[in-house]
Chain A
Amino acid sequence: MAANAGFNKTSQNDLVEGVQIDQIILGMNAQPRVFQDVAWIAPQVTKPTWRIARNDLITVNATLAEADEASFTSFTTSGVEITPSVYPVRSHVSLELQQDSAVDVLSKAIADHAEVILNAIDANLLANISSATNTSDYNGTALDKAKFEAALLAFKKQKPNPGPIIFVGGYKQIADIIGAYGDAGGAVYGVPGVASNAVAGRQDSSIYYRGTVAGIDLFEAAVPASGGADVSGAFMVKNRALALGFWTMLDYKLTDPAGRVGVELMTYSRYGSGIASQSNLREVISLA
């Protein structure tokens, strides 16, 4: 049958409105950042180099004979030095877009630049896990309870500095650990909520903290890939293993570009990262 003539979007097309753009713009698809929670952060370094000094372990074994003179003991320190580099993101924001856009495009551009820089900070901080000198290598296999506990024991034998021990791992690593402890059943969950809250933890893609197993806080993070099919997670002392120094945390500048309309936006951070102490970090390689 033929369409009935009358009022329709073709005959009245001059009255049809455009697109309604929602004010909520979905963010970039990236794993939640953990650096702000796990790293040792120096928010405002003012010297060209940030040095993290630590005391060396000194033991004094000499016994003193009666009436004898005590010998002198030397106490030494070691240090890790972190230097910064500028991380810039630069864009031209056209006049046309500023005038025609449904949102404040300049604010959006600054926020988007910041998002890229913060994601990179997270990735670069976690990339330091690949430089741990202590490694538990389970490449090609999934983490299980025995492996997790063996790696934890090895980590403790490194005699890390005092502080909460956390595990920062990839999606599968965390899922494997929680699954393994869940499968262990009654012994672990005999007292619900006391032994672990990880299995019943809320699943929310903005939350990287995945609860506790065996007293270890689990953090789901974008840890570095290791080889073909594995990732490098890590045991670490919270805020005492990976170090992040900011000379400029985040700033931007607007420039009027010669010969063009619109503005030039540059957002930047000046930072450096490293490992504060190898004793406080243990890489755990397993399937991704």
Chain B
Amino acid sequence: MGTNNIEKWVVASDPGERKLWIVPVTNPQGVIKYVRVSPHVQSGIVAGVYDERAMDPRLVAVQLKAGLEDAGWAFLADLYAEDGQLVAWAAFQKWMRSTPMLGATEAPKPFPEKYLPSGIAERKAGKADHQLESDDIVIPEMDDPRPAHSSKRQRRAAGMD
């Protein structure tokens, strides 16, 4: 699932102008989280692989921590890729760069909900794979039409008791 050849993050910086990467992910309920990773910030959600040969490290790849994907977590970039909408992913990255997450002082308009990947709406509607509920409890015997004489009074009235 997903693709490995796209950058699933946006490059930001901390107060000391060192690089910090923001990796948008969705949680199982469809809430978008802007996970920060860097050699100084070991995320509990995303594991980053860095090229640290230079003093200015470079993020090479990201991976969800074990078990999270099955639980319904996903990279936003992967959800866009699944929809075949990498154009929208580029627009989302551009929007991220205009937000206070990357130092803007004014909050921009929210990213339009209709341009979010379908995986977000699915999760919010509770219809993603990991959210499929087990079958409803069915007890056929109790669903059958009850006999008319189920109460003592009715049975007496019918002359059965």
Contacts and interface: CB of A to CB of B under 8 A. Distances in A.
For the side of the interface on A, what is the size category? 35 or more
A116 interface: yes
B45 A127 contact: no
Contacts of B36: 124, 127-128, 130-131, 224
Contact of A127 (B41, B52, B55): B41
A161 to B, nearest CB: 16
A271 to B, nearest CB: 6
Contacts of A265: none
A278 B44 contact: yes
A171 interface: no
A227 B45 CA distance: 17
Interface residues of B, number: 36
Interface string A276-287: 001000010100
Contacts, number: 119
A232 B68 CA distance: 21
Given A85-B39, A227-B32, A116 B15 contact: yes
Nearest to B38: A124
B34 A117 contact: no
Interface in A118-147: 119-125, 127-128, 130-133, 135, 137, 139-140
A227 B38 CA distance: 19
13 contacts: A85-B38, A120-B15, A123-B15, A124-B36, A124-B41, A127-B38, A227-B99, A227-B101, A227-B110, A227-B111, A228-B100, A229-B107, A273-B41
B108 interface: yes
B100 A225 contact: yes
Contacts of B15: 30, 116, 119-120, 122-123
B35 interface: yes
A83 B54 CA distance: 18
Contact of B108 (A89, A228, A271): A228
B84 interface: no
Interface string B4-39: 000000000011101010100001010111111011
Nearest to B32: A227
Contact of A83 (B18, B42, B68, B101): B42
Interface in A131-189: 131-133, 135, 137, 139-140
